[in-house]
Amino acid sequence: MATYSYAKLSERDLGLLRIGGTGLGNLLLTWAEFVVGTGKYGLTPIAPTWPQFKLGPFARNERDKRHYRDLFLKAPGEVSGIRKLKLLSTLPRIPVADLANGSLPGSIANGRGLLVEFDNAGALFKRILADHKFVRSELLRITRPKHKTGLEHDFGQSISVHVRLGDFRVESLENPISWYVGAINEVRRDIGSDLPVHVFSDGDDADLGPILNIRGTNRIGFGSSIADMWALSSANILIATGGSTFSKWASYLGRMPVIYPPGTLYQKLYLENPVSEVEWREGESFSSAFVEQLQRRLVVA
C-alpha cells in the first residue's frame, strides 16, 4: 500500500490533457504546494498534467496560447504513463488538509492505497512563503533547458517591467500605461540615472507605445511563459502588474525590489526583507527606506 500525491491543476483533468484551467502563475501555486507537501509527508508523487486546452487565448489572438505542453520535464520519482492513468482512475482521493488533520478514510487500512490531492484554492503564496529556496530549486530542475536562457541575460543596472494586458485588468488603475510610465520615471529620478528599461508584455506595441517611447526602453521576451518568468526573476528592479501571479512568481523567485500599483500588494512575499516590496501611487514619492533598497541593489548588480 502506498500513499500518492497529485497536483489538482483544474477540474477537468483527463490525465494526459486538461480542459480549461488558469494561467501558469496560478498553476504553479498548486504545483509548489504539491512538491513541498510530497516531501513533508513522504508521499509518492504522480506527475502533474501540465498540457491544457483553452479557447480564450485563441479567440483573443493572444501571443501565449497557454497550452503548457512543452515547458517541464517529469521530475525524478514521479509516476507517469499508463500507471498514472490507472492510479488516477482507481485510488480514493482526499484533500491534503485531511491528511494534515489525520482524517484518513478506512480504505487506507485495507491496502487500497490513497491519493492526496493538492489544490491551492486561493491561498496564493501563504503556505509556501518560507519554502522559496526549495521551490526555486525544484522549478529549475523540471524546467526544460531551452526555457532557461533568460537566466543568462544581464539585467544588472536596469529596470524590468511586466505589463499584463489581454483579458487582465488592474481595478485600481484608470490608465495602467500611464502608471507604468510614472513608475519608471520615479525610479530613474530617485536613482539619479536613466537606467535601461526592459519591457515584458502580452500587449501589442501600439498599446505599449507610451512606455516604449521612453528613451532607453526596449521590449524583450524569451519565447515562452516560463522562460519569461525566469528572466523576470533575474530582474534588478521589477515594476509589476498588480494582482498578477506571474509578477508575483518573478518576485518570489528573485527577491528583488518590486513596485506594485496601489491596492494590489495584498500578500508580501519577502519574510526576510519586507521593505523591498511597495505599492506606488502616481504623484507620490518612494519612501527613503525603499530608495535605499534600490541603491543597494544597483551596487550589488
Domain co-membership, 137 together with 162:
no
234-264 confidence digits (pLDDT tens): 999 999 999 899 999 999 999 999 999 999 9
- pLDDT confidence tier of residue 58, bands split at 50, 70 and 90: very low
* pLDDT, average across residues 217-227: 96
Q: Which of 110, 142, 174 lies at the terminal end of a domain, its last residue?
A: 142
Domain co-membership, 217 together with 124:
no
**Domain-located, residue 148:** no
Domain co-membership, 93 together with 116:
yes
| CA angle, residues 180, 186, 187, in degrees to nearest 5 | 95
* pLDDT, average across residues 102-129: 80
**Domain-located, residue 131:** yes
Domain co-membership, 123 together with 173:
no
Domain co-membership, 158 together with 286:
yes
152-188 confidence digits (pLDDT tens): 999 999 999 999 987 777 877 889 999 999 999 999 9
> What is the pLDDT at residue 59?
42
Taking a C-beta distance cutoff of 8 angstroms, is the pair 259, 278 a contact? Answer: yes
**Domain-located, residue 98:** yes
Q: Which of 95, 121, 142 lies at the terminal end of a domain, its last residue?
A: 142
**Domain-located, residue 89:** yes
> What is the pLDDT at residue 109?
43
What CATH number is attached to the domain comprising 224? 3.40.50.2000
Domain co-membership, 90 together with 137:
yes
DSSP per residue, 52-116: EE-SHHHHTT-S-----SSSBPPPTT-B-HHHHHHHHHHS-EEEHHHHHHT---GGGGGT--EEE
Domain co-membership, 179 together with 62:
no
> What is the pLDDT at residue 20?
83
> What is the pLDDT at residue 110?
52
pLDDT surpassing 80 at residue 1: no
pLDDT surpassing 70 at residue 55: no
**Domain-located, residue 115:** yes
Domain co-membership, 135 together with 162:
no
**Domain-located, residue 122:** yes
Domain co-membership, 116 together with 245:
no
> Among residues 251, 234, 226, which one has the least CA distance to residue 260?
251
> What is the pLDDT at residue 142?
98
Q: To the nearest whole number, what is the mean pLDDT of the chain?
A: 91
> What is the pLDDT at residue 64?
57
**Domain-located, residue 147:** no
Q: Which residues of 106-139 are buried (b: 16+ CB within 10 A; e: fewer)?
A: eeeeeeebbbbbbbbeeebbebbeebbeebbebb
* pLDDT, average across residues 2-7: 94
- pLDDT confidence tier of residue 111, bands split at 50, 70 and 90: low
**Domain-located, residue 149:** no
Domain co-membership, 94 together with 114:
yes
- pLDDT confidence tier of residue 101, bands split at 50, 70 and 90: confident
* pLDDT, average across residues 13-42: 95
Q: Which of 112, 142, 172 lies at the terminal end of a domain, its last residue?
A: 142
Domain co-membership, 94 together with 161:
no
- pLDDT confidence tier of residue 36, bands split at 50, 70 and 90: very high
How many independent structural domains does the chain possess?
2
Domain co-membership, 133 together with 62:
yes
Q: Which domain holds residue 221?
A: 154-300
